[in-house]
Structure 1
Amino acid sequence: MTTQGMYYTVATDKGFDAAVASVEEATTAQGMKVLHIHDVQATLQSKGYVVEPLKIIEICNAHYAYEVLAKDVMISLMMPCKINVFTREGQTYISALRPTILAKFFPGAGVDEIALQVDAKIRAIVDAASR
């Protein structure tokens, strides 16, 4: 497990596709919704680039989104929340950008408490999906 100020990453014994499916399931269990999944590997391969598997899973909770947007619409630049599943040298990882950085990027918006709540959900999704 790697916890940086900006991201939270956990290695998993699951294969890549199983980890992606687990993120989708864990997202629903946390009361959030998967909005879109970007298959970065497929996109880059279609342009002739060879990369290891990587999917960016965009997730959201309408209640939290409404609350932060009401405080500062510019926070939309960092929305929706993203969880990445990727492999490096045969190891699968699940990683998320930590919502707590919103409070750092928008210090006057008053989103500290909301960011902490969403951060807890995001970390719970990553942890549940990695098991």
Structure 2
Amino acid sequence: MEQQDLSYTVTTDKDFAAAVKAVEEATAAQGMKVQHVHDVQATLKSKGYDSEPLKIIEICNARYAHEVLARDVMISLMMPCKVNVYTREGKTYISALRPTMLAEFFPQADLKEVANQVDAQIRGIVDAAR
């Protein structure tokens, strides 16, 4: 599996905080809900480690979640969908794990159609937040 199969990543001219806010707003616009935001930089700092900004934004659509969990509860290991915002060398990135790879990991669940639908939404969120 190649990198582009696993993730969809863009750079943005927005600063880190504005990119996080844009992801949250684009998530709502796509009919999805932000479940939790992990501030990885703050967590690492609290343990004495310095790192560049990184937030993991967990998002979900209940209808899709219900549909895929009914097919195979083990898919929950890869849920909810994650969109990361981070900085590296002064640039801000928005990156999402591609839902289409679920069909690869769980071929018996026949997820291709639903995975493609969610993937389009996730890429739409990343592009809108850009």
Q: Please give the range of the TM-score, normalised by the shorter of the 2 chains.
A: over 0.9
Pairwise CA RMSD of aligned residues?
Answer: 0.7
In 2, Cα distance between equivalents of 1:33 and 1:58 = 9
> Residue in 1 aligned with 2:117?
117
Report the CA distance between 1:76 and its aligned residue.
0.3
The count of residues paired between Structure 1 and Structure 2 equals 128
User: Runs ≥4 in structure 1, deviation > 6 angstroms?
Assistant: none
Report the CA distance between 1:33 and its aligned residue.
0.1
> Residue in 2 aligned with 1:128?
128
- The question of 1:78 aligning with 2:100 is answered no
TM-score by length of 2: 0.97
> Residue in 2 aligned with 1:37?
37
TM-score by length of 1: 0.97
In 2, Cα distance between equivalents of 1:112 and 1:78 = 15
In 2, Cα distance between equivalents of 1:14 and 1:104 = 33
- What stretches of structure 1 of length at least 5 have no aligned partner? none
Alignment of 1:1-131 (within 5 A): 4-130=4-130
In 2, Cα distance between equivalents of 1:87 and 1:94 = 9
In 2, Cα distance between equivalents of 1:38 and 1:8 = 19
Report the CA distance between 1:59 and its aligned residue.
0.1
Greater fraction of residues in helix? 2
In 2, Cα distance between equivalents of 1:104 and 1:32 = 23
- SS of the residue aligned with 1:51? coil
In 1, Cα distance between equivalents of 2:111 and 2:75 = 10
- What stretches of structure 2 of length at least 5 have no aligned partner? none
